[in-house]
Structure 1
Amino acid sequence: MTTSEIILNKVAPIFNKQGYVGTSLTDITKATGLTKGAIYCNFSNKEDLALKSFQLNVKLAITPLFKLVSNQQGSINKLNTITDYQRSYYDLVKDRGGCPMLRAGVDTKFINPLLFQAAQNLSQKFTVGLTTIITEGIHNNEIQPNTDPVQCAKIILSLIEGSSLLAFTHNDPSYINTAMDFIDNSIIKSIRK
């Protein structure tokens, strides 16, 4: 493992827990046991380290979902894979500070444009992916033809991220489970052909 990877493994959860703004260089040097110089030999600045930490947090928390979905056949199966994954999401990320997309999107909008753009791009990727799944479902005769794929995708993503925010705010995964049940039993059921 390279020094950069060691640093990222130690500080990525700290950035996600304390916030990308709230994490100081002292927090970073304390967590790694390295000097400021050693940190900056591996990363150009704190913003670079924060961005790479965000990318690692996404790789650990969200990329597995994208892989699971890509291995599924049929739009309904893909949508159910997403809600099933989300039901275990709280336990997956609770020790790492919660959802990295949510954390970075809220934390960095006005102070770190590069990191905010990365979070916004991830959100757009999620929306486009959901839209594509729903559109394919319409074309494959799995989903009602009068379904608006973009609107439905935005509602599903809003329920996922909103329930994640509330679950971490209240330390209660039932917010996520209830929202996923609503997606399964109300949204998916109502658009299914």
Structure 2
Amino acid sequence: MLTKAEKTKQFILDTAVPLYNEKGISGVSIDDVLAATKLTKGCLYGHFENKDDLSDQVIELALKTLTNKVRLAVSKGKSAKGKIFAFMDFYKDPLHPYIPGGCPIFNTAVEADDNYPEMKQKVAKVFRAGQEELRGLLLEGIANGEFSSALDPTVFAFKMVAAIEGGIVMCRTMGTGKPMLSLIKNLKEELERYTD
């Protein structure tokens, strides 16, 4: 059971996640967060040391939330291939993502690249873990005979993540999700070529 203070802090974080995802770390001000939460500055600073502390915890929550949502979707697959397809399908509607503003992994990666080295490391950790989990599923598929040993799990996992993340940005920029559907279909067809 959360205390009142813990509930308030969680409310601030939950409210701030879409703000940060849409405006970016440098684009969000404390006033934006105060306006969205309808809380006082004193209340906010009772839970966070400063904007950097708030930003750090908001990004941490956004990455964790998305990662957990993806893992839940993947877990519904009945086989290694089903789980990989579930991963791809999670991203099939880039114009209406789980967190408003696009993929927080990509958004944070772009902004953090030259400006926030600690955030960059957090995103790199998420990318590495995600690719490793996908690689593990592909290896599992090879081991149980779903895929042929000609499939390179490391390369395909990287390609899949890179293509989908790039596809999200392009689709959102162009204002259409159609190319993402074609991309996912193409990735599935490529993986199907490795089934015996």
Structure 1: 4+ residue segments shifted above 3 A: 58-62
Q: How many residues align?
A: 191
After TM superposition, the score normalised by the length of structure 2 is 0.88
Q: Does 1:175 align with 2:179?
A: yes
| Counterpart code for 2:72 | K
Cα RMSD of the aligned pairs, angstroms, is: 1.9
8 Å contact kept, 1:164–1:175: no
What is aligned with 1:36?
A: 41
Deviations 1:1-20 (CA, angstroms, capped at 9, x unpaired):
71111211221111110001
2:192 paired residue among 145, 169, 189: 189
TM-aligned CA deviation for residue 49 of structure 1: 1.6
Q: Which residue of 1 aligns with 2:87?
A: 82
Please give the TM-score of this superposition, normalised by the length of structure 1.
0.89
1:37-76 paired onto structure 2 within 5 Å:
37-76=42-81
DSSP 3-state at the match of 1:41 = helix
CA contact (8 A) 2:91 2:164 kept: yes
Query: Following the alignment from structure 1 to structure 2, what is the Cα–Cα distance between the partners of residues 58 and 89?
Result: 17
Measure how far apart 1:33 and its partner are. 2.4
Structure 2 unaligned blocks of 5 or more:
none
C-alpha deviation, 1:89, in angstroms: 5.0
Give the superposition deviation at 1:162: 0.7
Gaps of 5+ in 1: none
* Partner Cα distance (1:88, 1:107) in 2: 23
Identity of aligned residues (%): 25
Residue in 2 that maps onto 1:148: 152
> Contact (CA 8 Å) 1:75, 1:142: kept in 2 or not?
yes
What is the correspondence of 1:108-147 to structure 2 with a 5 Å cutoff?
108-147=112-151
Question: Which amino acid in structure 2 is aligned with residue 70 of structure 1?
Answer: S
